[in-house]
Amino acid sequence: MDYEAVIGLEIHVELNCPTKMFCDCPNRPGDEPNKNTCPICLWLPGAIPQFGYEALEKATLACLALNCEIQEKSAFDQKVYYYPDLPKGFQLSQAHYPLSRNGWLNIIGEDGQPKRLRIHHIHMEEDVAKLIHEMEGKTPISLVDFNRAGAPLIEIVTEPDMRSPHDAMEFVRLLRTQIRYVGSSECSLESGTMRVDANISIRPKGTDQMNTKVEVKNMNSIRHVGDAIAYEIERQKTCLAEGEAMTMHTRLWDPVKKVTTAMRGKFAGPCVPDPSVPPVVISREWLEDKISCLPEMPARKAERFHQQFGLTDEEAFQLCTDKDTADYFEQVMSFPVPARMVTYWLTTQLMPVLRERGDALATSRVTPSRFADLLGLLDRNEVNANSAKEVLARLFETDLPVRTVVDQGGFGQVSDASELEGIVARILEGNAPAVADYHNGVSKALGFLIGQAMQASGGKANPKVVREILMKRLATQ
C-alpha cells in the first residue's frame, strides 16, 4: 500500500528578553549555575510571579512575524506535573487562552510550488530548570541549575499540514528567518534557543484519516529534523507491514546512530487557571503600535530587491534570508556598483570568509564602503577577479584604504594593450605545440595559452584583453 506522512510540529522558542518572564533576574541561562535566581524563579512558597512587559512585546512580534491573529485576552494556567526540573509541581503556560491563533507560513514545496502551512496557535510559557547529570567519584548524581527556570518561551503549534521531511525543514528554516527579522530570538537549534518536536503518523495515501501519532524529540539541527522524520516514517511503515499496532509515545532522535528510540513518558497532569497572574489584555492601540514597528519582512524585501536592483528572484531570496546580509547589501548599493556583482561577491566570497573567521558582517573591517571600493575597481577593470580575492583577504587585516592595499600589493590589473601584446607574443613563440593543437581544433589549447599568459603577467593581466589579443594573433598565424 502507498502511504503518506502526516506531520505537525511543536516548536519552543526562547525569547531574548533581558530578564526572565515573571521576575527581574537576568535571562542568561549560560552563566555560572544558579547565579541568576530569586525567590520567584526558585519557586519558593509564597513568591508571587510578576509578568514582564518585555516578554509580551517579544512574543507579540514573533506572533505577528508568523501571520498570527493576536488575541485580545489571553491567560496563564498551571500545567500540573512533577519532575525534578520543576520542583514547584506546575509550569505557567497558556493552555486554554493562548496569545495568538491562526497563523501561517508559505514555503516552497517539493514540487516547486508555494505551499501554505498553517499554525494552530502560539502561547507563552516559562521554561523549566535544567538537570545536569554527573559522576561524583563512582556515584552518578543529578544537579539542578535554576538559571533557565522562568526564562520566557513561546510555543508554536502547527496544524498537521506537512507531508514530508522537506516540508518540515523548510517550515523551520522560514520560521527562524521570520523570527530573527523581528529580533525576538536567535532561534538556534544548535545552542538550544529553539527546540523542535515533531508529531508523525502515516496513513494510506489519498485518505484523510488521522492515525496514532508518535512524537520525536531531541533534534539539534535542521538537518536532524529532516533525518529524524524520514527515519520515523520508514519505521512506522515497517511496523504496519508487520501488523504491529501503533501506540502513542515519545521517541528520542539519536544523531550518532541515526535512529529514534522510545523514551519513558512524563506524567501529563491537568491544566488549571493560575490565580496569581492576571489575564493579559491587549489594546487595539498597543497592537497597532507593534504592527507599525515591524521591519520590512523577507518576502517583501526580496520582491523590492528584485524590482529595484534587477536581481533574479533566487538571488533576492537568498540575500533576504538573513537580515544583516540584506542590510549590508543595501548599504553597498548606496555606492555606484552593479547589483548582481555585489550579490555574487557578497554570497560567494565575503560571507564564506566571514563564517570561516567567525566574524560578523556588522563588525567586520570590510565595511560596506570598502567592499564597494573594491568592487568598483573590479568593475572598472583596474583589478582582475583573482587579485580582487587577494585584496579582499587583506582587507580583513588592515584599515588602509582599498586603493592603497591594491597599490602596495601590486595588484593593479594590466590592461595596457602594448604590454600585453609583448607577453602574448612570447607565449605564442614558446608554446608551438599548443598553437598547433589550437589550429587542429583542440578546444582546451586556447585556455592553456590564456593561462600561460596570465601566469607570465604575475596574475595581473586583464584576462578579457589577453583573450582578445590571443584570438587576433592566432587568427593570422
* CA 470 – CA 448 distance, rounded (Å): 11
Cell 555560572 locates to 32
When binding is defined by CB under 5 A, the residue of 11, 21, 25, 117 that contacts Zn ion is: 25
Query: Which residue, 38 or 246, is less far from Zn ion as judged by CB?
Result: 38
As measured in angstroms, the least distance from the Cβ of 347 to Zn ion is 43
As measured in angstroms, the least distance from the Cβ of 302 to Zn ion is 41
Query: Which residue, 6 or 40, is less far from Zn ion as judged by CB?
Result: 40
38 binds Zn ion (CB under 5 A): yes
User: Checking phi first, is residue 173 left (phi over 0); if not, alpha (psi -120 to 50) or beta?
Assistant: alpha
Query: Which residue, 38 or 239, is less far from Zn ion as judged by CB?
Result: 38
Query: Which residue, 41 or 219, is less far from Zn ion as judged by CB?
Result: 41
Query: Which residue, 129 or 311, is less far from Zn ion as judged by CB?
Result: 129
23 binds Zn ion (CB under 5 A): yes
Residue count, binding to Zn ion (CB under 5 A): 5
3-state secondary structure of 423: helix
372 binds Zn ion (CB under 5 A): no
55 binds Zn ion (CB under 5 A): no
Provide the CA 111 distance to its chain's centre, in angstroms: 22
Footprint on residues 442-471 left by Zn ion (CB under 5 A): none
Instruction: Indicate the helix (H) or strand (E) that contains 70.
Output: strand 69-70
Other residues' Cβ atoms within 10 Å of the Cβ of residue 260: 25
Q: Are 145 and 126 in contact (CB under 8 A)?
A: no
62 binds Zn ion (CB under 5 A): no
Instruction: Indicate the helix (H) or strand (E) that contains 165.
Output: helix 165-182
Only segment of 37-45, 50-58, 303-311, 469-477 that touches Zn ion (CB under 5 A): 37-45
Only segment of 35-43, 99-107, 131-139, 447-455 that touches Zn ion (CB under 5 A): 35-43
As measured in angstroms, the least distance from the Cβ of 269 to Zn ion is 24
Query: DSSP letters along 220-277, please?
Result: -SHHHHHHHHHHHHHHHHHHHHTTPPP---EEEEETTTTEEEE-PPPP---EEE-SSS
Query: Which residue, 52 or 298, is less far from Zn ion as judged by CB?
Result: 52
CA 166 → CA 155, 162, 234, 254, distances in Å?
21, 9, 15, 20
361 binds Zn ion (CB under 5 A): no
41 binds Zn ion (CB under 5 A): yes
Query: Which residue, 9 or 41, is less far from Zn ion as judged by CB?
Result: 41
Contacts with Zn ion by CB under 5 A lie at 23, 25, 38, 40-41
